[in-house]
Amino acid sequence: MPPPIDAESFTEALDRAVRILRPAKKVAVLTGAGISAESGLATFRGGGGLWEGQRIEDVATPRAFARDPLLVWRFYNLRRANLATVNPNPGHRALVELENRLGADFTLVTQNVDGLHQAAGSHNVLEIHGALRRVRCVGCQRVSDRGVEVLPELPHCEERGSLLRPDVVWFEEALPDDIWGRAVEAVQACDCFLVVGTSAVVYPAAGLIDVARMEGADVIEANLEPSAVSTRVNILLLGPAGTSLPELLKRMKEEG
């Protein structure tokens, strides 16, 4: 059984994490909003949220879009504009370094839609909740990358004329089958699963932690505070990912 979450110091936890991660042949990572929050992006579950007083049900569900697409697009254009003001942080860059170390045996599964992992230099990224930079036509389903350009309040498809929507997975929607399937396969195959900055309350993403455990992988969690799964992981690194992940990579290099 994993030790109690307060059973060891940060330094002791780092040392044990190095002993697990350094010899690992296949590594999968799950990241959540916490790592992006360190770059200055607010989260849905943060204290004030992205739009003061705006309920998730009113801006991030298919029903909300059908009822008031203008409100939804104002919310998402605000989020897209915010992307132009932030940059990857040391936590993102540490994961790039880990991918460079492992190559094809590294898979980064992210719940985030901000694209900061790719901006940092990560390549094998599975965006299970979609991406803010992309839009999708509700008619022809054509997807296009619009970056952080300013969009009309109600953007329409140039080919079909139908309304565009953000290419993100809203609450009450299923994850994309192909991307989710690849994420599950990567977690099933890994011998170390690194969980970073997620509250572990949004499913099915949070279920990947139990998938890893059932397959015998060691689970290392790096989080600002204990999450819903902290009692079920092998090692808990408490603190900002921008501090713990670079230190973890530094110690791995120092030991060979």
Lowest pLDDT segment from 36-40, 115-119, 201-205: 201-205
Q: Report DSSP state, residue 186.
A: H
Burial class (CB in 10 A: 0-12, 13-18, 19+), 55: exposed
Residue 150 pLDDT level (bands cut at 50, 70, 90)? confident
Q: What is the CA radius of gyration of the chain?
A: 19
Fold of 44-85+132-168: SIR2/SIRT2 'Small Domain' (3.30.1600)
How confident is the prediction for the chain on average, in pLDDT?
Answer: 90
Q: Structure pTM? A: 0.91
In the chain, which residues fall in CATH 3.30.1600.10? 44-85+132-168
Q: In what order do the strands lie in the sheet with 130-137?
A: 143-145, 130-137, 164-168
Residues 15-52: tens digit of each pLDDT: 999 999 999 999 999 999 999 999 988 766 555 444 44
Residues 79-105: tens digit of each pLDDT: 899 899 999 999 999 999 999 999 999
Tell me which of 92, 117, 123, 129 is the catalytic residue. Answer: 129
Kindly give, in sequence order, each residue whose CB lies less than 8 Å from that of residue 144, ignoring residues fewer than 6 positions away: 134, 135
Helices (H) then strands (E): counts for the chain: 10, 9
Distances from the Cα of 143 to the Cα of 46, 131, 176, angstroms? 29, 11, 13
Kindly give, in sequence order, each residue whose CB lies less than 8 Å from that of residue 152, ignoring residues fewer than 6 positions away: none
Higher pLDDT, 13 or 199: 13
What would be the CATH architecture of the domain defined by 1-41+88-129+175-256? Answer: 3-Layer(aba) Sandwich (3.40)
Residue length of the chain: 256
129 in catalytic set: yes
